[in-house]
C-alpha cells in the first residue's frame, strides 16, 4: 500500500504555520504574550552575533513585530523562562525544567568523558571550588571569577579554568544563568534561580523521552526519527527509533511521503490527524529572518523543503565568502526567495546586497514588500534611516 502524499506546498505551509510564520506577526510581544510565543516555539536559540540584532531578538520579532530586545529580560527576571542547552544555548519555558534534569545528566557524562583530557584528573575538584565560591559570595560572571582569584593565587583563575568550571556547572545543572549583563552570563546556584515548586519536580527518563519527542512532532508536523531527536537534543537516536516504532505499532503515528522542493519523496512520520489538516494560506508578506530561525536551523530539512542551501560564513575568510559575514534569509509567503547582507552602522541600516534564489528576483511589487520589511527591521534595530550600496540588487 502506498503512503499518503504530502505535497511540497502543503508541507511548507503546515511546517511554517507551526513555527508561527504564516499568520501576521501581530501581538504585543511582551509579558505573557511573549512567554506564549516561546512556549509555542519550544525554545529560542541565543546567539551573540549582533550585526543588526541578536538571533533571539530577530526570532521573537519575526513572530511579534511589536517586540523589542528589552522585552525578554523581564521574563528571565520573573522566572518565566530559563536558559540552557538544546542543540545550542537557548531560552526555554520554565515549566520544561524538570525534563532538563536528564539533559544535565547526559551533559555531565559527556563532559566527564571528554574534559578530563583537557583539564586533567583533578578537574572535578576545581569545579567544586568554583561552586563553593558562588554559594558563598553570590552570582558571578566568568570575568569576575577570573579577576577575583587571579589576585589571590595567580594561576587557577586563568581564562580556561574559570570559564570551563562555570560552563561545566551550568551544563550539569548545578548553576543556572540568573541574568545577562551586556550579554555576559551571570551564574548563580540553580536552587536560587529556579522556583522551588519547579526545582523539586522529578520525571522518569522514559517520561522525558516521550515528552520531548512528542513535543518535537507537534512542532514539526512531520519528521524522520533523526529530525525528532535533534529538535531538543535530549533524547538519543536509539530512543527516537524505539519511540517511532512503538507509535507506528499502536497507531499514534503513520508513515507519509513528503515531497521535497526538487520533487523527490522522503518517507516521514506524522500523526494520523495531519491528513485531515487543511494547509493554511499564507499572504505575500516578505520577512527577513535570523540565520538561526527555528524554521531554518535544521539546514538539511530547510534544503529539502525549500530548496535553500545555507551556511554561515562568519568563519570563512572574507575573500572566500560567497555572500557575506552574516547574511539573512528572506522569505515571501512560504518560499525562501533570497538572502540579504545588511548590518547596523550607528543609527543606519546599511544594505550591501540582496541575492535572489531561483524565482526570487525583485519585481516592483516584491521590492516594495521587501522595502516595507526593511523599514520594520530598521525600527526594531534602532536605525533611523537606511543606506543601500551601489549595485545591491544582485
* The pLDDT value given to residue 178: 97
DSSP letters spanning 130-188: HHHHHHHH--B-HHHHHHHHHHHTSSTTSHHHHHHHHHHHHHTTSEEEEEEETTEEEEE
**Using CA atoms, how far apart are residues 367 and 373, in angstroms rounded to an integer?**
10
pLDDT over 90 (residue 224): yes
pLDDT over 70 (residue 119): no
* The pLDDT value given to residue 125: 72
pLDDT over 80 (residue 115): no
The answer to whether position 292 is within a domain reads no
Do 322 and 212 belong to one domain?
Answer: no
**Using CA atoms, how far apart are residues 81 and 194, in angstroms rounded to an integer?**
9
- Tens of pLDDT, residue by residue over 185-198, are 999 999 999 999 99
- Tens of pLDDT, residue by residue over 6-20, are 999 999 999 999 999
Do 206 and 318 belong to one domain?
Answer: no
Do 273 and 378 belong to one domain?
Answer: no
Query: Of 259, 278, 297, which marks where a domain is finished?
Result: 278
Instruction: Kindly tell me the burial class for residue 125, based on how many C-beta atoms sit within 10 Å of its own C-beta (0-12, 13-18, 19 or more).
Output: exposed
Domain count, the chain: 2
* The pLDDT value given to residue 120: 62
Do 189 and 329 belong to one domain?
Answer: no
- Tens of pLDDT, residue by residue over 242-300, are 999 999 999 999 999 999 999 999 999 999 999 999 999 999 999 999 999 999 999 99
Do 257 and 334 belong to one domain?
Answer: no
The answer to whether position 371 is within a domain reads yes
CATH number at residue 347: 3.40.630.30
Percentage of the chain exceeding pLDDT 70? 93
* The pLDDT value given to residue 160: 56
296-322 burial code (b ≥16 CB/10 A, e <16): bbbeebbbbbbbbebeebeeeeeeeee
Query: How does DSSP classify residue 3?
Result: P
**What dihedral do alpha carbons 93, 142, 160, 53 form, nearest 10°?**
60
Do 72 and 7 belong to one domain?
Answer: yes
The answer to whether position 289 is within a domain reads no
Do 340 and 253 belong to one domain?
Answer: no
Do 7 and 130 belong to one domain?
Answer: yes
Determine the structural domain holding residue 355 and report its residue range: 311-388
Better-scored residue on pLDDT, 2 or 56: 56
**Using CA atoms, how far apart are residues 387 and 389, in angstroms rounded to an integer?**
7
**Using CA atoms, how far apart are residues 61 and 67, in angstroms rounded to an integer?**
5
Phi, psi of 287 (to 5 degrees): -125, 135
* The pLDDT value given to residue 151: 38
pLDDT band at 130 (very low <50, low <70, confident <90, very high): confident
Query: Of 255, 278, 301, which marks where a domain is finished?
Result: 278
Do 273 and 370 belong to one domain?
Answer: no
- Tens of pLDDT, residue by residue over 141-169, are 988 876 544 434 433 334 456 788 898 89
The answer to whether position 301 is within a domain reads no
Work out the average pLDDT over 334-357: 97
Do 104 and 226 belong to one domain?
Answer: yes
The answer to whether position 91 is within a domain reads yes
Decide if 285 contacts 331 (C-beta within 8 A).
Answer: no
The answer to whether position 97 is within a domain reads yes
The answer to whether position 262 is within a domain reads yes
Query: Of 260, 278, 296, which marks where a domain is finished?
Result: 278
* The pLDDT value given to residue 214: 98
Do 316 and 240 belong to one domain?
Answer: no
- Mean pLDDT for the chain? 92
Do 339 and 203 belong to one domain?
Answer: no
Helices (H), the chain: 8-18, 31-41, 55-63, 73-77, 97-119, 123-137, 142-152, 159-171, 190-193, 196-199, 205-220, 225-232, 237-250, 299-306, 364-380
Amino acid at each position: 500500500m502506498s503512503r499518503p502524499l504530502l505535497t511540497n506546498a502543503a508541507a511548507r505551509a503546515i511546517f511554517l504555520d507551526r513555527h508561527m510564520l504564516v499568520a501576521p506577526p501581530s501581538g504585543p510581544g511582551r509579558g505573557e504574550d511573549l512567554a506564549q510565543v516561546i512556549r509555542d516555539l519550544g525554545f529560542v536559540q541565543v546567539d551573540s552575533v549582533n550585526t543588526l540584532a541578536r538571533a533571539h531578538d530577530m526570532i521573537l520579532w519575526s513572530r511579534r513585530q511589536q517586540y523589542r530586545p528589552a522585552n525578554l529580560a523581564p521574563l528571565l527576571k520573573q522566572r518565566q523562562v530559563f536558559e540552557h542547552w538544546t542543540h545550542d544555548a537557548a531560552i526555554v519555558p520554565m515549566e520544561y525544567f524538570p525534563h532538563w534534569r536528564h539533559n544535565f545528566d547526559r551533559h555531565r557524562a559527556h563532559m566527564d568523558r571528554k574534559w578530563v583530557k583537557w583539564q586533567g584528573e583533578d578537574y572535578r575538584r576545581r569545579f567544586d571550588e568554583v561552586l563553593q565560591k558562588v554559594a558563598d559570595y553570590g552570582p558571578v560572571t566568568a570575568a569576575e571569577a577570573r579577576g577575583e582569584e587571579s589576585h589571590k593565587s595567580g594561576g587557577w583563575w586563568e581564562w580556561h579554568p574559570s570559564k570551563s568550571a562555570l560552563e561545566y556547572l551550568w551544563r550539569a545543572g548545578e548553576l543556572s544563568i540568573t541574568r545577562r549583563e551586556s550579554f555576559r552570563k551571570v551564574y548563580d546556584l540553580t536552587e536560587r534561580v529556579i522556583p522551588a515548586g519547579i526545582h523539586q519536580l522529578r520525571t522518569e527518563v522514559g517520561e522525558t523521552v516521550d515528552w520531548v519527542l512528542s513535543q518535537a512532532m507537534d512542532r514539526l508536523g512531520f519528521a524522520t526519527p533523526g529530525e525528532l531527536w535533534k529538535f531538543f537534543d535530549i533524547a538519543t537516536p536509539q530512543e527516537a527509533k524505539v519511540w517511532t516504532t512503538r507509535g507506528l505499532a499502536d497507531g499514534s503515528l503513520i508513515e507519509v511521503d513528503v515531497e521535497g522542493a526538487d520533487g523527490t519523496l522522503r518517507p516521514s512520520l506524522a500523526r494520523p490527524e495531519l491528513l485531515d489538516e487543511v494547509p493554511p494560506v499564507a499572504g505575500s508578506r516578505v520577512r527577513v529572518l535570523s540565520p538561526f530561525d527555528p524554521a531554518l536551523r535544521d539546514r538539511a530539512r530547510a534544503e529539502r523543503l525549500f530548496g535553500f542551501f545555507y551556511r554561515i560564513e562568519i568563519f570563512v575568510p572574507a575573500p572566500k565568502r560567497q555572500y557575506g559575514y552574516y547574511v539573512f534569509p528572506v522569505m515571501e509567503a512560504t518560499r525562501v526567495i533570497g538572502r540579504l547582507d545588511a548590518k547596523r552602522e550607528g543609527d543606519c541600516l546599511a544594505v550591501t546586497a540582496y541575492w535572489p534564489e531561483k524565482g526570487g528576483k525583485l519585481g516592483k511589487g516584491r521590492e516594495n514588500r521587501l522595502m516595507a520589511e526593511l523599514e520594520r527591521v530598521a525600527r526594531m534595530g534602532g536605525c533611523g534611516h537606511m543606506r543601500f550600496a551601489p549595485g545591491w540588487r544582485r
